[in-house]
């Protein structure tokens, strides 16, 4: 298995394939919107998304500027995502809508599932392949690679994986693409750990 691309974003900035992207460096609190503006894309749905979906959306937008995931058929791309906070941030906002603001908000409620973000990616890129969202205790490289191996055995040609969290004041997102060729898995594990800890 081979790492063919990755993107990590947070309020501190964007790393694409491990390289800091100076031109995308956000400066204010509203960092996701700022990166969206710098990317100069026109996708109004972005503004409706919750923090999880925004982060996944942006990192995959940036990743696909350099990686050619779209060379694969729309059913050959598996999305394997995980986090350790589910949709906690959106859950709390939605609870606030009915406990404090007077009525349950349908637009907040639909984001109270973590897999909405994989749905947003599928819609944006017209990817019809297999999806799964896992809740893990912590970022676990071995677990991701085990799942990736399963999806390759089942016929996927590439696996787009992601670790995306939004809870308390933590906002983090790492997406990485793995193809079924070359490289030994020990090197791949080290690469992914280095990226996560970067």
Partner 1 sequence: MSQIFMTYGTMITPIGNSAEENFIAMMEEKSGVQFVENSGFNQENWPLGKILSLPVENRYNELLKRACANLIKAHGSNLFSDEKTLVIVSSTKADINALPKDTFASTRRILEEELHLKNKIVVISNACISGVIAINTAADYLNHTDYTKVVVIGIDALSDFIVYGFQSLFALSSEPSKPFDKNRKGICIGEASGVVILSKEKINDAFHVNYLGGSSSNDANHISGPSRTGEGLFRSVKLSMERASVSSEQIDFISAHGTGTSYNDEMESIAFDRLELVDTPLNSLKGYFGHTLGAAGLIEVIASMKMMENNTLLKSVGFEEKGTTHPINVLKENQEKEVTTILKTASGFGGGNASLVLKKCV
Which residues of the shown chain bind partner 1 in the complex (CB under 8 A)?
74-75, 79, 84-86, 88, 91-92, 94-95, 98, 103-106, 109-110, 112-120, 122-123, 125-137, 143, 146, 149-150, 153-154, 168
Q: Least distance to partner 1 from the beta carbon of 85, Å?
A: 7
Q: Least distance to partner 1 from the beta carbon of 196, Å?
A: 18
Nearer to partner 1, 110 or 141 (CB): 110
CA distance 170 to 185: 30
Q: Least distance to partner 1 from the beta carbon of 93, Å?
A: 11
Counting Cα atoms < 13 Å in the Cβ hemisphere of 179 gives 11
Q: Least distance to partner 1 from the beta carbon of 3, Å?
A: 21
Contacts of 194 (CB under 8 A, 6+ apart): none
Nearer to partner 1, 35 or 56 (CB): 56
Name beta bridge partners: 166: 171
Nearer to partner 1, 20 or 142 (CB): 142
Nearer to partner 1, 34 or 185 (CB): 185
Q: What is the dihedral of CA 138, 9, 87, 137, to 10 degrees?
A: 0
Region at 63 (left for phi over 0; alpha for psi -120 to 50; beta for the rest): alpha
CA distance 93 to 97: 6
């Amino acid at each position: 298995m081979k790492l063919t691309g990755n993107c990590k974003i947070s309020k501190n900035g964007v790393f694409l394939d491990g390289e800091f992207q100076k031109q995308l460096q956000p400066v204010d609190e509203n960092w996701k919107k700022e990166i969206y503006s710098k990317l100069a894309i026109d996708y109004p749905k972005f503004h409706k998304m919750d923090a999880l979906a925004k982060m996944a959306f942006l990192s995959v937008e940036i990743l696909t500027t350099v990686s050619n995931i779209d060379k694969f058929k729309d059913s050959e791309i598996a999305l394997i995502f995980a986090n350790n906070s589910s949709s906690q941030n959106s859950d709390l906002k939605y609870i606030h809508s009915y406990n404090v603001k007077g009525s349950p908000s349908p637009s907040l409620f639909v984001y109270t599932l973590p897999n909405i973000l994989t749905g947003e990616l599928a819609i944006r890129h017209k990817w019809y392949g297999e999806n799964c969202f896992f809740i893990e205790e912590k970022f676990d490289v071995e677990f991701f690679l085990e799942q990736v191996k399963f999806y390759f055995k089942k016929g996927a040609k590439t696996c787009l994986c992601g670790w995306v969290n939004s809870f308390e004041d933590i906002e983090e997102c790492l997406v990485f693409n793995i193809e079924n060729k070359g490289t030994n898995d020990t090197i791949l594990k080290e690469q992914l750990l280095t990226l996560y800890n970067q």
